[in-house]
A and B are shown apart, each in its own frame.
Chain A
Amino acid sequence: MLARMEISLESLARTAALAGFAWTDAELDAIRPAVQRLLESLGELERLDLGAAEPTTQYRVL
Chain B
Amino acid sequence: MADLGRMIATKQVSPVEVVRVHLDRIAALDRTLRAFITVCADRALASARAAEADLMAGKAIGPLHGVPWAPKDLYSTKGVRTTGGSKILADSVPGDDATVVARLARAGAILLGKLNMHEFAYGPEGINAHYGDTRNPWDVDAHRIAGGSSSGSGAAVAAGLAPGSLGSDTGGSIRIPASLCGITGLKPTYGRVSRAGVLPLAWSMDHVGPMTRSARDCALMLGPIAGYDPADPTTSVLPVPDYGAALTGDVKGLRVGLLRAHFTDAAASDVRAAVEAAAKALEGAGAVVDEVSLTHVAHVATATAAIVASEALAYHAPWMRSRSQDYQPDVRERLRIGAFVTGAHYVRSQQVRALVTREVDDALARRDVLLAPATPLPAPALGERETTLGDGPSDVRAALLRCTRPFNFSGHPACAAPCGFTAAGLPIGLQVVGRPFDEATVLRVVDAYQRITDWHTRRPAAA
Q: Which residues of A contact B (CB under 8 A)?
A: 12, 15-16, 19-21, 23, 27-28, 30-31, 34-35, 38-39, 41-42, 44-46, 48, 50, 53-62
Q: How far is the CA of A54 from the CA of B204 in the complex (A)?
A: 16
Residues of B within 8 A of A58 (CB): 190-191, 203-204, 234, 411
Given contacts A20-B317, A55-B354, contact A62 B345 (CB under 8 A): no
The smallest beta-carbon distance between A40 and chain B, in angstroms, is 9
Q: Among B336, B351, B358, point to the contact of A31 (Cβ < 8 A).
A: B336
Contact A56 B353, beta carbon cutoff 8 Å: yes
B333 at the binding interface (Cβ < 8 Å):
yes
Given contacts A50-B352, A59-B436, A62-B238, contact A20 B321 (CB under 8 A): yes
Given contacts A21-B320, A45-B303, A59-B191, contact A53 B337 (CB under 8 A): no
Contact A54 B354, beta carbon cutoff 8 Å: yes
The smallest beta-carbon distance between B338 and chain A, in angstroms, is 9
Residues of B within 8 A of A62 (CB): 191, 236-238, 437
7 nearest CB pairs, A to B: A59-B411, A55-B350, A59-B190, A41-B302, A53-B354, A61-B191, A56-B354
Q: Which residues of B contact A (CB under 8 A)?
A: 189-191, 203-204, 234-238, 299, 301-303, 305-306, 309, 317, 320-321, 324, 333, 336-337, 339-341, 345, 347-355, 357-358, 410-412, 436-437
Contact B411 A42, beta carbon cutoff 8 Å: no
Residues of A within 8 A of B353 (CB): 55-56
The smallest beta-carbon distance between A3 and chain B, in angstroms, is 15
Contact B340 A39, beta carbon cutoff 8 Å: yes
Residue of A nearest to B333 (CB): A31
Given contacts A19-B339, A34-B337, contact A61 B236 (CB under 8 A): yes
Contact B235 A61, beta carbon cutoff 8 Å: yes
Given contacts A42-B341, A45-B349, A46-B348, contact A59 B333 (CB under 8 A): no
Contact A48 B336, beta carbon cutoff 8 Å: no
Q: Among A35, A54, A61, point to the contact of B351 (Cβ < 8 A).
A: A54
8 A-B residue pairings within 8 Å (CB atoms): A21-B336, A38-B337, A42-B345, A50-B348, A55-B353, A59-B189, A59-B191, A59-B412
The smallest beta-carbon distance between B10 and chain A, in angstroms, is 39
Residue of B nearest to A55 (CB): B350
Residue of B nearest to A20 (CB): B321
Q: Among A20, A35, A38, A53, point to the contact of B302 (Cβ < 8 A).
A: A38
Residues of A within 8 A of B238 (CB): 62
Contact B410 A45, beta carbon cutoff 8 Å: no
Q: How far is the CA of A46 from the CA of B203 in the complex (A)?
A: 24
The smallest beta-carbon distance between B219 and chain A, in angstroms, is 21
Given contacts A41-B302, A61-B234, A62-B437, contact A48 B352 (CB under 8 A): yes
Contact A21 B339, beta carbon cutoff 8 Å: yes
The smallest beta-carbon distance between B360 and chain A, in angstroms, is 10
The smallest beta-carbon distance between B196 and chain A, in angstroms, is 14
Residue of A nearest to B190 (CB): A59
Q: How far is the CA of A39 from the CA of B340 in the complex (A)?
A: 8
Q: How far is the CA of A48 from the CA of B236 in the complex (A)?
A: 32
Q: How far is the CA of A62 from the CA of B411 in the complex (A)?
A: 13
Listed residue (B302, B303, B324, B339) with the most chain A CB atoms within 10 angstroms of its CB: B339
The smallest beta-carbon distance between B248 and chain A, in angstroms, is 25
Q: How far is the CA of A28 from the CA of B237 in the complex (A)?
A: 45
Residues of A within 8 A of B305 (CB): 38, 41
The smallest beta-carbon distance between B460 and chain A, in angstroms, is 35
Q: Among B204, B234, B351, B411, point to the contact of A50 (Cβ < 8 A).
A: B351
Q: How far is the CA of A41 from the CA of B304 in the complex (A)?
A: 11
Q: How far is the CA of A30 from the CA of B335 in the complex (A)?
A: 13
Residues of B within 8 A of A19 (CB): 317, 339
Residues of B within 8 A of A53 (CB): 351-352, 354-355, 358
The smallest beta-carbon distance between A24 and chain B, in angstroms, is 11
Listed residue (B309, B340, B352, B437) with the most chain A CB atoms within 10 angstroms of its CB: B340
